[in-house]
Amino acid sequence: MVRSVICGGFLSVAVSLFTVQAQADKPQRIVSLSVCGDQYVMGLAERSRIAALSEDARDPRISLQHEKAQDLPITRGNAEEILLLKPDLVIANRWRGAKTVEILKQSGIPVLMLSLPVTLEEIEAETHKVARALGEAEKGEALLGELKAAMSSSAQPEGPRAAYFMPGGYSAGQNTFVETVLHSAGYRNLASEMGLRGWSSLALEELVLQKPDILIMSFFKGGKFSLSTRLRKHSALREMMKTTPVIDVPDKYWACGGWFLFEAINYLKGKRTS
């Protein structure tokens, strides 16, 4: 009886030590500096480990998990504020807050830089990278499951010819995650067929002349009215929209490339009529 109690006590201590060690291997004070990083952090880490998210995390227009972020700490992203949070991991990207990132690195704070993945393979690699950094490799694989399921159907070369159009007269051609989403949902990408690469300008006159089967739009609604968004009110575009089906994809579904793009794919699949 005594031996059983002693063995049980040793086992309990061993389990506790293993749990403590596992927690020690994971960053316990995580800070995200962008809406893309926010989605990864909220999708992978326990709430208790999130020291702060970006200001965009609570925005229902561009943050897919905005409800989860409502009672989580927010940072404006300046170095002084972040240093006071004493993070053991900061998730940043190369197109925002470069000076802040430089100061954090000089202060010895671990910084994980996000890229802008385009293909499924790149999104997988990015998700695995972040998941490993957070000590959540298994959760990372689980998140990718929904994206892989959404992308499981092959591209349809003869699908509807879709024109993706953004404020300011921009579109997404080859080598963009928008094209990956369009193809996965069974659409052809007009911008790509026109020879455009990356995030490119698409003149309204050219868009009208191309006569796409479907017009896919995002980022025109919500936020402040501006010169770039007023393009939707242009007489030529409004006339085109009378005869061309329009799909407004919620901005939050593809504010950036990541595991969460399955939302945009499934949304567009649901809107496809041929």
**Structure-token pair, residue 55:** 């200001």
Q: What pLDDT sits at residue 25? A: 80
> pLDDT-based confidence at 7, cuts 50/70/90?
low
| Whether residue 254 is found in the same domain as residue 165 | yes
Residue 233 placed within a domain:
yes
Q: Count of domains in the chain?
A: 2
Q: What pLDDT sits at residue 17? A: 38
CA dist 250 → 30, 49, 75, 84 (Å) = 28, 29, 25, 35
Helices (H), 115-161: 120-133, 137-150
* Burial class of residue 238 in the structure, from the number of CB atoms within 10 Å of its CB (0-12 exposed, 13-18 middle, 19+ buried): exposed
In tens, the pLDDT along 64-97 reads: 999 999 999 999 999 999 999 999 999 999 888 8
| Whether residue 183 is found in the same domain as residue 138 | no
Only one residue has tokens 């929904």, namely 146
The Cα–Cα gap between 168 and 206 comes to 14
Summarize the chain as % helix, strand, coil (round to 5). 50, 15, 35
Domain that holds residue 190: 161-271
CATH number, domain of 88, equals 3.40.50.1980
Considering 149, 176, 199, which residue would you say is the last residue of a domain?
A: 149
The Cα–Cα gap between 234 and 226 comes to 13
The Cα–Cα gap between 69 and 39 comes to 10
pTM for this predicted structure: 0.84
> pLDDT-based confidence at 20, cuts 50/70/90?
very low
Q: What pLDDT sits at residue 223? A: 55
In tens, the pLDDT along 25-69 reads: 899 999 999 999 999 999 999 999 999 999 999 999 999 999 999
Percent of the chain having pLDDT more than 70?
86
Considering 98, 117, 149, which residue would you say is the last residue of a domain?
A: 149
Counting every residue, how long is the chain?
274
